[in-house]
């Protein structure tokens, strides 16, 4: 789909469309009510009711904007029965799935001067802070990371290409060894390319073979990352294929003694995967912010990029793990 070159203009168009749709719904509701009342009201009464409904809605939106509420939050409040994702200036609307909710609220989290979140709620007995690293991490002193209260690191292991060939990350071994020596809990994540059950099984079997030298040398958690394809719409067939691939890959990893985790951003979880079928496996959400908007249950959350961590050069990401 072609991107709108002017996101602000696109947003204004979207707001206008939303307003007109809501006004139409209010008008239809008023007409239905008046009809059921037996026609006791005149055309002037109905027009007055339509104008009042429109003015009330506009005043509510105006108050939200003047109060500092951003456009996306206002739109989300207008559609409580959908998950709305900001997709680089345009918006994707996804119906709510029949999957377990997470129950978090913004009051559950607070941020310190370094940008690191802590959990203040009472739903989880153990919430740990950590990081994940990839090929963009230039250098990192894991002892300094540990001394700042971070307890785990998830390391990028590589990706599968379109031919289901595994391309390991060159820095994986070094990160895994040094993080383990520093006493941090270690795990890894890889990017799958599988789009059906057979490909998912093949990629997982290749990954198990690659991990044989590391057997028993890390915690055993393996996150399988799925990335929303840039040129592929979210059809029912695509959703079924990607979900089948993940289930197949998770099954292979479980049989090999690993603990698989499904890893994706909000758009991928909502638009490309059938979450109800994936309930048996923990989820790692990649969504930046001070509190999660993603409504479904997850056990790990990448919420931001570290910019003030001592001992880190390059890009690392901040995570919380809920247990």
Separation between Cα atoms, residue 23 and residue 45, nearest integer Å:
16
- Check residue 17 and give its pLDDT: 55
CA distances (Å), 47 to each of 33, 41, 44, 292, in order? 13, 10, 5, 42
- The tokens describing 139, both together, are 């250098």
- Check residue 323 and give its pLDDT: 87
Query: Nearest Cα to 281, choosing from 233, 223, 236?
Result: 223
Condensed to tens digits (0 to 9), the pLDDT of residues 86-120 reads 877 788 899 999 999 998 999 999 999 888 999 99
Condensed to tens digits (0 to 9), the pLDDT of residues 29-75 reads 555 554 555 555 677 766 776 776 566 665 665 565 555 456 788 78
Separation between Cα atoms, residue 198 and residue 133, nearest integer Å:
29
- Check residue 20 and give its pLDDT: 52
User: Mean pLDDT, to the nearest integer, of 280-301?
Assistant: 96
Query: Nearest Cα to 222, choosing from 192, 248, 187, 263?
Result: 187
- Check residue 214 and give its pLDDT: 93
pLDDT band at 2 (very low <50, low <70, confident <90, very high): very low
Query: Nearest Cα to 173, choosing from 186, 153, 157?
Result: 157
The topology under which CATH files domain 106-322 is TIM Barrel (3.20.20)
One-character DSSP codes across 136-196:
EEEEE-HHHHHHTT--EEEEEEEEE-TTS-EEE-TTHHHHHHHHHHTT-EEEEEEE----S
Give the CB-side neighbour count of residue 233, counting CA atoms within 13 A: 4
Phi, psi of 261 (to 5 degrees): -130, 140
One-character DSSP codes across 108-119:
GEEE-TTS-EEE
pLDDT band at 318 (very low <50, low <70, confident <90, very high): very high
Task: Flag whether pLDDT at 23 surpasses 70.
Answer: no
Contact 294, 311 (CB under 8 A): no
pTM of the model: 0.80
The domain segmentation of the chain, as residue ranges, is 7-95, 106-322
Interior angle at CA 281, CA 280 and CA 286, nearest 5: 140
Compute the mean pLDDT over every residue in the chain, rounded to the nearest whole number.
85
User: Mean pLDDT, to the nearest integer, of 12-18?
Assistant: 55
Condensed to tens digits (0 to 9), the pLDDT of residues 197-254 reads 999 999 999 999 999 999 888 999 999 999 998 876 678 899 999 999 999 999 999 9
Condensed to tens digits (0 to 9), the pLDDT of residues 139-148 reads 999 999 999 9
pLDDT band at 3 (very low <50, low <70, confident <90, very high): very low
Q: Is 314 left (phi over 0), alpha (psi -120 to 50) or beta?
A: left
How far is Cα of residue 153 from the mean position of the Cα atoms in its chain?
19
Higher pLDDT, 55 or 268: 268
């Amino acid at each position: 789909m072609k991107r709108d070159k002017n996101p602000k203009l696109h947003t204004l168009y979207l707001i206008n469309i939303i307003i007109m749709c809501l006004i139409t719904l209010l008008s239809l509701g008023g007409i239905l009510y008046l009809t059921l009342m037996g026609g006791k009201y005149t055309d002037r009464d109905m027009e007055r009711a339509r104008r009042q409904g429109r003015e009330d809605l506009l005043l509510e939106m105006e108050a939200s904007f003047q109060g500092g509420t951003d456009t996306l939050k206002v739109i989300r409040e207008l559609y409580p029965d959908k998950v709305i994702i900001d997709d680089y200036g345009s918006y994707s609307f996804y119906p709510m799935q029949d999957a377990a909710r997470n129950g978090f609220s913004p009051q559950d989290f607070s941020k310190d001067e370094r940008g690191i979140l802590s959990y203040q709620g009472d739903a989880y007995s153990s919430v740990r802070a950590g990081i994940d690293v990839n090929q963009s991490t230039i250098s990192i002193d894991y002892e300094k990371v540990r001394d700042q209260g971070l307890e785990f690191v998830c390391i990028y292991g590589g990706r599968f290409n379109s031919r289901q060939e595994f391309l390991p990350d060159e820095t994986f071994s070094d990160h895994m060894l040094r993080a383990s020596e520093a006493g941090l809990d270690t795990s890894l994540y890889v990017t799958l390319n599988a789009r059906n059950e057979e490909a998912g099984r093949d990629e997982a079997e290749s990954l198990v073979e690659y991990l044989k030298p590391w057997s028993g040398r890390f915690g055993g958690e393996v996150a399988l990352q799925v990335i929303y394809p840039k040129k592929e719409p979210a059809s029912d067939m695509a959703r079924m294929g990607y979900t089948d691939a993940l289930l197949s890959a998770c099954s292979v990893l479980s049989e090999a003694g690993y603990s698989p985790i499904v890893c994706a951003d909000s758009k991928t979880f909502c638009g490309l995967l059938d979450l109800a079928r994936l309930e048996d496996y923990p989820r790692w959400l990649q969504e930046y912010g001070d509190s999660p908007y993603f409504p479904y249950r997850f056990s790990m959350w990448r919420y931001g990029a570290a910019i003030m961590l001592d001992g880190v050069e390059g890009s690392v990401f901040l995570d919380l793990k809920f247990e």
